[in-house]
Amino acid sequence: MNSIFVNYHDFTSPSGMHIFHLANALAKLGVRCATYNGGKAETVARYGKPLFRAFDKRMSPRRFLAEINFDPKDTVIHCWTPREVSRLLTADLKAVFDAPVVVHMEDNEEAITAANLSAVPDEKRGTEEIWQSGGPLFGSSHPVRSREFMESAAGYTCIIEPLLDFKPVNVPGHVFWPSCEPEVFAIPAASSAEEKRRWGIAPGDKVLFYPGNVHPNNFQEVVQLYLAAAQLRAGGVPLRLLKFGVYPRRVIELLETIPHIHETVVDITDEITPAGIPEVMRAVDYLVQPGADNAFNRYRFPCKLPLFMASGRPVILPKTNLGNLLEDGVNCLLLQGEGTADEIAARLRELYENPGKAEAIGNAGRAFANEHFSWANSARGLKEFYGKILRKPNGPDVPYQTGETHAPIA
């Protein structure tokens, strides 16, 4: 059995991180894997040693296929999102390699496209050029072509159950949850004074960490996190926020206007690679996934959440996506309103003033992670799904659905 992962970008994206760990886990199960992406193949080194071969669009489809030498009868082309970049790369492969295609979803693509389209001048929104290579929407899902692409697929995968809402009725589906680096599960639950000193932070200060990029769909909620942290520090809570990620210039300029921001934030973006994140987690006391229940967040599984919960730190997150499956005050603290700075600050203060509660929530969150987050388990389920697709590459007589099923907590 073989799998070709086609990605819209490279391994610098959260999607690339998922593909790296999933392909490695599949390789350990005997599945030969290769990746073909729209960025730079060499970025695969960010996460360690790959057990698969990585290529990118700089190599022609025919040469790529000759290099990997997979038999199409035993191969699944797993296209990561129906965005124009990955859809066209998949079409190029499919034209010369007749293997079944599985489309993967990890976000509400309609919401992302709408947000990206809003930044396009009115006079260009109806033109085809914005969807072509180099255009502002080339990295988005076309509202018509993406749907047709998914309807023609042999299978559909996604990382959280609500995304099955976008699955075409006649296409079999499979849900698998993401995980994180295995070493995160072994990090001591108590924060490290030594790791705090590494970043110039006093051992007695409490540390937040937000490792993630900012984009049009999340910048407003990320700003609320920064406002909350600065507000608490100004109010006497010895809190620092470690920043790791790429932010648009306008967001950086907005953050610069927040009072006390410079004495609150420590930017380590240029100091480490993603492989260094588990070590940084040792300095951390609290973790926040900002946001609220909305059309974007409802359909996503933020890649930070497995990392956060596996770390043993208390996690604050909105009551949406994974938050619907967690219990407030037991294995997390939930943001049940609009995710404002005041709401985030109140929940952080609750942890700061109740260290025993913070420890208990962190331990229970890690127990949840140990039970539910495993790349090995996700790979086993995906391998089984691939097997069904390869036995019936044009789809089953009756569409089936496999994978994670969980009832939301009221």
pLDDT score of 217: 74
Helices (H) and strands (E) in the chain, counts: 14, 14
DSSP letter assigned to residue 171? S
Question: Helices 14-28 and 375-391: crossing angle, nearest 10°?
Answer: 80
DSSP letter assigned to residue 244? E
Strands of 159-313 (E only): list them.
173-175, 206-211, 239-244, 265-267, 287-288
Give one DSSP letter per residue of 5-35, joined into a string. Answer: EEESS-TTSHHHHHHHHHHHHHHHTT-EEEE
* Mean pLDDT, the chain, whole residue set: 91
State the amino acid at position 220 in one-letter form.
Q
Place of tokens 């502002």: 136
Q: How many residues does the structure list for the chain?
A: 410
What are 126-173's pLDDT values in tens digits? 888 888 888 887 888 888 999 999 999 999 999 999 999 999 999 999
Could you give the percent of the chain with pLDDT greater than 70?
Answer: 96
In the sheet that 333-335 helps form, which strands lie side by side, from edge to edge?
287-288, 315-318, 333-335
Residue 410 pLDDT greater than 50, yes or no: no
Mean pLDDT of 177-196: 92
Residue 82's alpha-carbon distances to 122, 145, 185, in angstroms, are 24, 9, 32
pLDDT score of 319: 96
Give one DSSP letter per residue of 331-373, joined into a string. Answer: TBEEE-SS--HHHHHHHHHHHHH-HHHHHHHHHHHHHHHHHH-
* Domains parsed from the chain with CATH numbers: 2-179+374-403 (3.40.50.2000), 182-372 (3.40.50.2000)
pLDDT score of 252: 85
In the sheet that 206-211 helps form, which strands lie side by side, from edge to edge?
206-211, 239-244, 265-267
Mean pLDDT of 389-395: 80
**Partners of 3 in the β-ladder:** 33, 76
Residue 301 pLDDT greater than 60, yes or no: yes
Mean pLDDT of 260-279: 90
pLDDT score of 404: 63
Give one DSSP letter per residue of 256-291, joined into a string. Answer: HTSTTHHHHEEE-TTT--GGGHHHHGGG-SBEE---
Place of tokens 């909305």: 294
Q: What values do phi and psi take at 181, rounded to 5?
A: -60, 135
With contact defined as beta carbons under 8 Å apart, do 210 and 242 qualify? yes
pLDDT score of 115: 83
With contact defined as beta carbons under 8 Å apart, do 163 and 106 qualify? yes
Tokens of 23: 């392909």
With contact defined as beta carbons under 8 Å apart, do 154 and 394 qualify? yes
Q: Out of 9-13, 229-233, 279-283, which region has the weakest mean confidence (pLDDT)? A: 9-13
Mean pLDDT of 213-240: 90
pLDDT score of 361: 98
Question: Helices 249-256 and 219-234: crossing angle, nearest 10°?
Answer: 20
Q: What values do phi and psi take at 163, rounded to 5?
A: -65, -10
Mean pLDDT of 84-93: 95
Give one DSSP letter per residue of 90-116, joined into a string. Answer: HHHHHHH----EEEEE-S-HHHHHHHH
Give this prediction's pTM: 0.90
pLDDT score of 234: 95
Residue 215's alpha-carbon distances to 43, 251, 317, in angstroms, are 21, 9, 18
199 burial (CB, 10 Å; 0-12 / 13-18 / 19+) is middle
Residue 409 pLDDT greater than 80, yes or no: no
